[in-house]
Structure 1
Amino acid sequence: MTRDRYETELETLKEGVTSMATLVVERLREAARAYEDGDEDGGREIAERDDEVNELYLELESECIDLLALQQPVAGDLRFVVATFKILTDLERIADLAANIGRYAGTPGRDRLTVVPIADIAEMASSQVADAIAAYVEEDPEQCRTVVADDTDLDQRCEAAADDLVRYLATYDAAGDEHEALLADTKQFLLTVRDLERVGDHAVNIAARTFYMIESDDELIY
């Protein structure tokens, strides 16, 4: 294989990752909107379309394996392929989390918890993933550091949402069946916040692997 063709394959792989990331971030934002709107049908559709992301993941994973096996890249190219392989896994897991949130959209009675909306948390998490992928595409080490630092803000916002929920529950007067329904709603809300926090963790992973790809430095990997 000529060097030009090899470079083309590396660039094609990067473009594939970018397309997958765009799709995943879009799904995450759609899932959050469905949850906020209580759109059960929309949320279910998002969850059912997760196979599309899985197929893309397997296709790109295969490209990574072929490059490793057939081209035996070294130095920077090797770091790029290995980092990409791991980043694909993080993107696939973010898509799984988006599917989870879509499934939560139809929780009965979730309108009781509108006092603690998750739209802003979802946007923080989505933007963090988008920024991590931008750092990967542009090979920007400082952007990688920013993504990692921003995760602290997301963690704090998730913690604040849980605190808001506790304060709300302390003043909510419920009994009997309504009490049981409120407990179910609370569980789903906390699962949603947890999943969004995990999205941020995957964005950090992407940034850390990208930083290592660029700098050959594992400072951000933990």
Structure 2
Amino acid sequence: MDKLQFDKHTSAQYNAELEEARKNLMQMGGLVEQQVDDAVRALMEMDTSLAQRVIETDTTVNEMELDIDEECTRILARRHPAASDLRFIIAVSRAVTDLERMGDEAAKVARHTLELADTGSGPQGYVELRHIGVEVRHMVQHSLDAFARLDADSALDVMQQDKSVDLEYGTAIRSLITTMMEDPRSISRALNVMWSLRSLERIGDHARNIAESVIYLVKGKDVRHKKLEHVEAQVKRD
């Protein structure tokens, strides 16, 4: 691919615009990463004030999505980017959408925390919830690191992590269904935990999407909807 550099254009302003888009994406990513971390911690510790803060942060995340989208649109209209520049703008636009949706899912986890707190129950005993939460947080962090470093190998690692999270999520859901069948009194709590797990699994999916955008940017290959084995071959090629 054409090496992605933000000082290669004769227009210093164009270079600055690309760098600003990258910086703003990373800033939004950092905020969403913290939002996900806070949502998981609020749920595990039944911290309602932290859960409320997660919900409030979602407004800021939404505003950042709109701002970066507008920024990308201006670059497309003014600069007519090609090759790696065009892939960069497309990758940023896709990543911003996934980050906004991660924020939505983190807010859902926070709302389930508030519902659990209202009933006087918590997620105690659901060890899968804590483990999946840790795994998903790592996926978010690693996908953003891969984007920052243009590291296709690290992006592939995130996609492999997603497969592991999906398997663990399936196991956790089956366990919750068994719990509800054996003890109907647990249904309300188990449902909140189940929906929280679903949101965490979706956050993992969006982290995978960002990883796919990194591979598209670095390798010039669109690997969306491709089997992991196919993606591995694309990344290892060259």
Q: Give the TM-score normalised by the residue count of structure 1.
A: 0.90
Equivalenced residue count is: 213
Whether contact under 8 Å (2:98, 2:210) holds in the other structure is yes
Whether contact under 8 Å (1:79, 1:213) holds in the other structure is yes
Corresponding residue for residue 131 of structure 1: 142
- Structure 2 unmatched ranges of 5 or more: 1-8, 226-238
Q: What is the percent sequence identity of the aligned residues?
A: 29
Residue aligned with 1:110, SS: coil
CA distance in 2 between counterparts of 1:171 and 1:115 reads: 15
Relative to structure 2, which stretch is displaced further, 152-161 or 14-23? 152-161
Whether contact under 8 Å (1:30, 1:46) holds in the other structure is yes
Q: Give the TM-score normalised by the residue count of structure 2.
A: 0.84
CA distance in 2 between counterparts of 1:54 and 1:66 reads: 19
Which of residues 49, 62, 78 is equivalent to 2:70? 62
Residue aligned with 1:217, SS: coil
**Greater than 6 Å deviation, 4+ residue runs:** none
Q: Say whether 1:204 aligns with 2:208.
A: yes
Give the superposition deviation at 1:160.
2.3
Q: How does 1:153-172 map to 2 (within 5 A)?
A: 153-169=164-180, 171-172=182-183
Q: Say whether 1:188 aligns with 2:188.
A: no
1:65-121 alpha-carbon deviations (Å, 9 max, x no partner): 10001111011100100111111000000001111111111212433x411142221
Q: Read off the aligned partner of 1:212 and give its amino acid letter.
A: Y
Q: How does 1:23-42 map to 2 (within 5 A)?
A: 23-42=31-50
Q: How does 1:11-50 map to 2 (within 5 A)?
A: 11-50=19-58
Corresponding residue for residue 235 of structure 2: none
- Structure 1 unmatched ranges of 5 or more: none
CA distance in 2 between counterparts of 1:30 and 1:70 reads: 39
Measured on the aligned residues, the alpha-carbon RMSD in Å equals 1.7
Query: Highest relative contact order (Cα 8 Å, sep 6+), 1 or 2?
Result: 1
Give the superposition deviation at 1:146.
1.0
Which of residues 70, 81, 85 is equivalent to 2:89? 81
Relative to structure 2, which stretch is displaced further, 207-216 or 154-163? 154-163
